[in-house]
Structure 1
């Protein structure tokens, strides 16, 4: 029997769960395609940057992981940002040299870049080694890293059609944003057990991304006494422990720094989601047909969260509130309105679901395998 040629796929990204979890979803889809084709001789490698990203990768997957140094360009001007930019200016060439060695040893058939400056060293080095590259842009407005890396890429997968004007037309593939299959398989019963919820009450899920969101935390804590009739599941972020100190004993309030596998159960039982407007959380909300209140991060790169949220707002797929003008009483009013008017919530969830593309991960996986051949 002829021995199978080993297929090696390099994944790269870093910084937050917004980069890691789509990579994981795509790796899972590639494995499914390999199983369909009876391909058993393959290897994956994830190259990223930062301790938190490394920890996330190790705790949530069995992907082999290698670190390189990377930096980022901060476009706001403060003394701190100037110093950080200077430090990162020297980190990037070191990271590229590290990537030269690590990519050479692995020598992949294809490279998938999820964006962010943490993906810059591995994507650039892959281009130098003439390895085919696909990058993925989740947002309506691409970040600076992907705008640069698209010049070196074979293909550019986009999550929103609005983003196509930023890339070369012949490279674009519209795929939408991948969602991990396990997020669609949560259990209400498991949620009640894990979070110790009252099954007679409606449940509000509050998310601020993998790092949390201090502004959303502050708003929620202020109105918490007026939400005693509901279950609250609150992901407050690893850096924000100080905000919820002393709040954990409040009845029906469940605060965790980060939701891991249990987030699928939290999604399953939630009647309303309050969140930032990152592309990945929006893809999950759409896939799960959930009504949501979106509070875009006002300092997001190129204002991409606001643009993401506007896609949902224009399709009546979410309530969008601007952080700058948001008062606790306004948020409380919107929460109670959506939980009381169930027909309105149902319609918002259905409109969100119309924006979902549940085969996004498979489409990207197919394109990766296509260029790897």
Structure 2
């Protein structure tokens, strides 16, 4: 009988990308691959097109840290999700569950634990998110991207593996990227990516600075769902809500990146040696993990950091110009950074854990 792995994780693209990197490896070795996610989350959009990967939606509730009337309903949604996940796992009988985190993963991890199915978690940030903090006691092991994360993981569970990078990101064609965007060779390309859901403050500052930005750069802007500006037609500027299949090509042609500081994205840019201007989410918008990520990269010489409180069209222009002027130093620092094959290490750990069950 073939081995079976069940993945979970969602709410944002960052909670899916590691799963997307691992899934082809398991399919190549003949494993059955299944995925539990939310009914309407981005994980369903990203996973459903994959061949031979069964997707099972369950009820989810968001784990909020602030007052909201939805908080009264969410415990019931989570309880329903735990029941659904428990029944699914009992029926589908996976050998192991791999969780990338996000609020949808909590019912799945609980359901696996109740069925005595081993769980491995991946934590991208320096400090675990709330979903992973709840799930860690029920896991066999926790794979971390940052070595600093070990201090926040239970004794003996943390495994520092480094960043898991999707292999296809390294296969892009700069010529195909320029064709997609209508760009010309010979002029530097600035990629703006505020995350899968977009970033209104970054979008606003970039668009206000476009006349000056396009004097020196061609700008490709991934602005997020519902945040296109069809009236904005500036030569050398191309905008998309979100791209998936063409992303390796867009990355291949890009010389600099403006982005948030989500761990998965910035490590992908690091692996491709793309100098970054990081604009992390503020502590009012998040638990502060992106601020820690950004300053870790700044200290290593991989990126410039611009706090959102100081973001304006003018400060954006100044930092982008400085990043471009010193791009060779950033590329050199990234080239000499620590190199690990995290994808292979996580793949091996999952197989060994499933085998020893």
The two structures have a TM-score, normalised by structure 2, of: 0.95
Shift of 1:122: 1.1
Shift of 1:321: 0.5
2:101 equivalent to 1:115: yes
Higher relative CO (Cα under 8 Å, sequence separation at least 6) belongs to: 1
Structure-2 residue corresponding to 1:71: 61
Structure-1 residue corresponding to 2:268: 284
Please state whether the residue corresponding to 2:73 is helix, strand or coil: helix
**Aligned residues: CA RMSD:** 1.5
Structure-1 residue corresponding to 2:85: 99
Please state whether the residue corresponding to 1:169 is helix, strand or coil: coil
Provide the C-alpha distance between the structure 1 equivalents of 2:10 and 2:185, rounded to a whole number of angstroms. Answer: 38
Q: Is the alpha carbon distance of 1:72 and 1:366 closer, same or farther for their aligned partners in structure 2, counting shifts above 3 Å?
A: same
* Deviation per residue, 1:104-149 (Å, 9 max, x gap): 1211111101111210111111111111110010001110111111
* Deviation per residue, 1:145-169 (Å, 9 max, x gap): 1111110000111111111111112
Provide the C-alpha distance between the structure 2 equivalents of 1:27 and 1:114, rounded to a whole number of angstroms. Answer: 12
Structure-1 residue corresponding to 2:21: 25
Provide the C-alpha distance between the structure 1 equivalents of 2:60 and 2:288, rounded to a whole number of angstroms. Answer: 23
Shift of 1:178: 1.1
Please state whether the residue corresponding to 1:170 is helix, strand or coil: coil
Structure-2 residue corresponding to 1:330: 315
Provide the C-alpha distance between the structure 2 equivalents of 1:122 and 1:353, rounded to a whole number of angstroms. Answer: 38
Higher-helix-fraction structure: 1
Shift of 1:85: 1.3
Counterpart of 1:125 (choices 100, 108, 111) is 111
Structure-1 residue corresponding to 2:221: 234
Provide the C-alpha distance between the structure 2 equivalents of 1:92 and 1:47, rounded to a whole number of angstroms. Answer: 14
What does residue range 304-315 of structure 1 map to in structure 2 within 5 Å? 304-315=289-300
Q: Which runs of 5+ in 1 are unaligned?
A: 35-39
Shift of 1:302: 2.1
Structure-1 residue corresponding to 2:244: 260
Tell me whether 85-94 or 58-67 shows the greater mean CA deviation: 58-67
Provide the C-alpha distance between the structure 2 equivalents of 1:109 and 1:63, rounded to a whole number of angstroms. Answer: 16
Q: Is the alpha carbon distance of 1:60 and 1:183 closer, same or farther for their aligned partners in structure 2, counting shifts above 3 Å?
A: farther
Please state whether the residue corresponding to 2:287 is helix, strand or coil: helix
Please state whether the residue corresponding to 1:346 is helix, strand or coil: helix
Structure-1 residue corresponding to 2:201: 215
Provide the C-alpha distance between the structure 2 equivalents of 1:312 and 1:108, rounded to a whole number of angstroms. Answer: 37
Please state whether the residue corresponding to 1:48 is helix, strand or coil: strand
Provide the C-alpha distance between the structure 2 equivalents of 1:356 and 1:301, rounded to a whole number of angstroms. Answer: 28
Please state whether the residue corresponding to 1:331 is helix, strand or coil: helix
Structure-1 residue corresponding to 2:130: 144
2:146 equivalent to 1:160: yes
Q: Is the alpha carbon distance of 1:297 and 1:353 closer, same or farther for their aligned partners in structure 2, counting shifts above 3 Å?
A: farther
Provide the C-alpha distance between the structure 1 equivalents of 2:285 and 2:227, rounded to a whole number of angstroms. Answer: 19
Provide the C-alpha distance between the structure 1 equivalents of 2:224 and 2:52, rounded to a whole number of angstroms. Answer: 24
* Deviation per residue, 1:79-118 (Å, 9 max, x gap): xxx2121121210001111112211121111110111121
Query: Would you say the 8 A contact 2:26–2:33 is kept in 1?
Result: no
Query: Would you say the 8 A contact 2:177–2:246 is kept in 1?
Result: yes
The two structures have a TM-score, normalised by structure 1, of: 0.91
Counterpart of 2:277 (choices 268, 277, 293) is 293
Provide the C-alpha distance between the structure 2 equivalents of 1:106 and 1:176, rounded to a whole number of angstroms. Answer: 31
Tell me whether 138-147 or 53-62 shows the greater mean CA deviation: 53-62
Shift of 1:312: 0.3
Provide the C-alpha distance between the structure 2 equivalents of 1:320 and 1:168, rounded to a whole number of angstroms. Answer: 31
Provide the C-alpha distance between the structure 2 equivalents of 1:306 and 1:157, rounded to a whole number of angstroms. Answer: 21
Provide the C-alpha distance between the structure 1 equivalents of 2:290 and 2:244, rounded to a whole number of angstroms. Answer: 23
Please state whether the residue corresponding to 1:70 is helix, strand or coil: coil
Please state whether the residue corresponding to 1:274 is helix, strand or coil: strand
